[in-house]
Structures are given as structure tokens and as C-alpha cells.
Amino acid sequence: MGLFKGTQEQYHGFNSFTATSGQSDFTLSYPTLPSSSSEFNVYLTGTHGGVTKTARTLLSNFNSAAIVSYTAATGVLVLPSLATGTIVEVLLINPDLGNYQHISLDDITSNFMVAYTGDDKLINRARRSDVVFHAKRAIQEFSYDTFKSTKSQEVEISSSLSMDLPPDYVNYVSISFTDSQGVYRRLQPTKITGNPSAPSQDGTYEFIFNDNGTYLAASDSTTKTRRNSNAPVAQTNDNGYNTNDYDLHDGARFGMATDLSQINGTFYIDEIKGKIQFSSNIATRIVVLQYISDGLGTDAEMIVHKFAEEAVYKCIAHAILATKANTQEYIVNRFKKEKRAAIRTAKLRLSNLKSEELTQLMRGKSKQIKH
């Protein structure tokens, strides 16, 4: 069977029907059915409710007509009764475009069970749960330094100067604010402040404890409060440097603190409270957090790029053989070498180097003046 699921029309999110007289039920045929009617729009072309449209028009524009019901388990969509020849088009709001470049965790598991396990193979038997576990571990490790795929989140910062870490956050790639032209302005991490824990003290500076014997702690430290109320140093230079530190020390800037000598602003990550704290000039700005996850946050994320598919199989095989009793060491070492080779190949493929980009880069090297 071909690997492409559905038709090209379905890939772009379309299902189309031509109604017969009085027809109201239509069965959607997407490879993965929508979970609710909020995931698609319905369009009609023709006459309904005394309104005639010769071009594709939203169902609600036909005298406020609406979907009667939708059953996600069967894909049955019920509309008001339609006239003969009325064209019904269902369009997904967010079709799963570009999905052919990936393979799902379920497919990886099934393929491994078929290709690598059996009576005449090195792995004569393996539990499917073990294969799934090792496949997930491979996806986790690959997400950190092989896939090089980042997620991003855009948030407007309030006067509290803080931002919650995303639920699937592992580490940040960059944190920037967006200027009036939509250009990222990189923020720098700072080491001169933070939000330490702040146990409460009485008038004699003795610690105050809860009934269970733990510290009675304040919600925020004095350090954070003072930092948030302190206005940043004057910032006027558009080249990214703080004018006070840049101009006054012209000719003697060697070794200056770069996190303090720039105008964009600073941040630090409060790992304990799961928040990012910003300098006061970031209030009301739009901040973009680019970060990496482990690829296991949701079922939809548990996918592997086809360039790395073979590497995942090798990782699973090596992990199963390495933990299986009475496996000869030379076999384990053989699969370890194959795993490393497959990972190197995957990294080269996923690096996505193009000759045109290299040409442009080398041409830039010939400039006498570089910005």
C-alpha cells in the first residue's frame, strides 16, 4: 500500500458533496476525523432558505443556517435539508499539512515489531510496551540535539514583568521582544539578580516556621521586588548597546559586561516557580520565547522525521539487546556502532545544508567591511 493517506483534496482539508433532494446527512472521510464541529467550516454553493449564492459561502450566511449535529466517532455531519444540486464543502480550519515528512510513534512501533522481532531474528521476541518505551526515549534524546526543532510562544508582558514557562518547556533557545516592525530584539540573560527563597523573619531576625516545621516564606523576595521597581539605565543607542556604558568607555571596552551594555533588556529564569522574569523596560512589550521540548507532550508531537527513522530503529534494537539477559557482548557492540552511525547520518540529513546558502555565505566573506 502507498504511504500517502487520503486524497489530495483531503490533505488540503476539503471534503465536498453534491446534495440530493432533501439530503441532510453527510459522512466526512478524512484520514483522521475532526473531534468536534469547531474544527471545520461548512460552505454551500446554491440555494437554501431563500438565499442563492453562486460562489462558496459560509453556511451561516444562508439566513443564519447552522450545523444540526456532528458525530466525531462516525464523521456524520447533519445539516438542514438541502435542495438538489447544492454543493456542500467542508474545510478544516487547521489541516495537517506537511505530515508526510514524519512517521508516527505507532507506525514506528509496528514497523519495528515486524522487521526486527521474530523466531529467525536476533530479537526473537519483545513486548510492545518495551518497544514503545525505548522509542519514546529515542524521541526525547533526538529532540534535544538531533531534530533541532524549536517551539515558540508569543506573550504580552504585564506590569508583573513575568511570564509562565510553557507546560512542555525543557530549555530555552532564545528570548526576544518584537519591535514595531516585527523584528526580534534579543534579550540577554542576567546573573546580577534573581528571586531567591525568602523565609520570613520576626523582629529579632529569627526565622518564622509553619505548623509543620517548614519555613514561612514570602511569595516574592525583596531582591525581586527591588529589581522590578528599579528603572533600567538610559537606553538610546539603536545598535543594541547601552550608551552610558558604550560611549563613555570608548576605546576601553575590553572585558565589559555584555549583559549590562545593551539596550534590549534582560531576563532570568526562576526554575523553582516556573517563570521568566524580565527587566522593567519589557513591560507591555510582546515577548517571543523559543524553546525546545522533549517531543512527548502530546500524541500529535510523538512523531519522527523520516530522515531519522532508521536511527530510531537502531536505538530501539540496541536498547532491547543491551538489557536482554544472555545477549552476547559482540552483538550489543555491533548494534551500538550501528546506532551511532545512524544518528550521525540523521544529523547530516537534518542539517539541511544547501549549496545556495553556502555560496551566499562564502560571497559574504569577500566583503572588506562587515556589519
pLDDT tens digits, one per residue of 32-72: 899 999 999 999 998 887 788 888 889 888 877 789 999 99
Amino acid type, 225? T
* Average pLDDT estimate for 220-229: 78
* Residue matched to cell numbers 472521510: 29
Q: Which of 41-55, 78-92, 260-274 has the highest mean pLDDT?
A: 78-92
Phi-psi region of 39 (alpha: psi -120 to 50; beta: other; left: phi over 0): alpha
Amino acid type, 154? E
* Average pLDDT estimate for 94-110: 88
pLDDT digits (tens, 9 = 90+) for 308-358: 999 999 999 999 999 998 899 999 999 999 999 999 999 999 888 888 888
**Three-state secondary structure along 58-83?**
EHHHCCCCCCCEEECCCCEEEEEEEC
Q: pLDDT tier at 152 (50, 70, 90 boundaries)? A: very high
Q: Is the pLDDT of residue 371 over 50?
A: no
Which among 100, 40, 45 is positioned nearest to 75, based on CA atoms? 40
Distances (CA, A) of 269 to 165, 171, 260: 9, 10, 17
* Average pLDDT estimate for 182-196: 87
Residue pair 91/40 in contact by the 8 Å Cβ criterion? yes
Q: Is the pLDDT of residue 240 over 60?
A: no
* Percent of the chain clearing pLDDT 90 (strictly above): 42
Which among 301, 236, 149, 336 is positioned nearest to 245, based on CA atoms? 236
The model carries a pTM of 0.73
Which among 84, 81, 76, 41 is positioned nearest to 61, based on CA atoms? 41
Q: Which pLDDT score is estimated for 255?
A: 67
Which position has the higher pLDDT, 156 or 83? 156
* Average pLDDT estimate for 133-137: 95
Residue pair 289/170 in contact by the 8 Å Cβ criterion? no
pLDDT digits (tens, 9 = 90+) for 293-308: 888 888 878 889 999 9
Q: pLDDT tier at 235 (50, 70, 90 boundaries)? A: very low
Distances (CA, A) of 88 to 40, 43, 44, 80, 274: 13, 6, 5, 12, 48
What is the per-residue burial (b if ≥16 Cβ within 10 Å, else e) of 46-66?
Answer: bbbeeeebeeebebeebeebe
Q: Which pLDDT score is estimated for 251?
A: 55
- Window from 183-187, 209-213, 337-341 with minimum mean pLDDT: 209-213
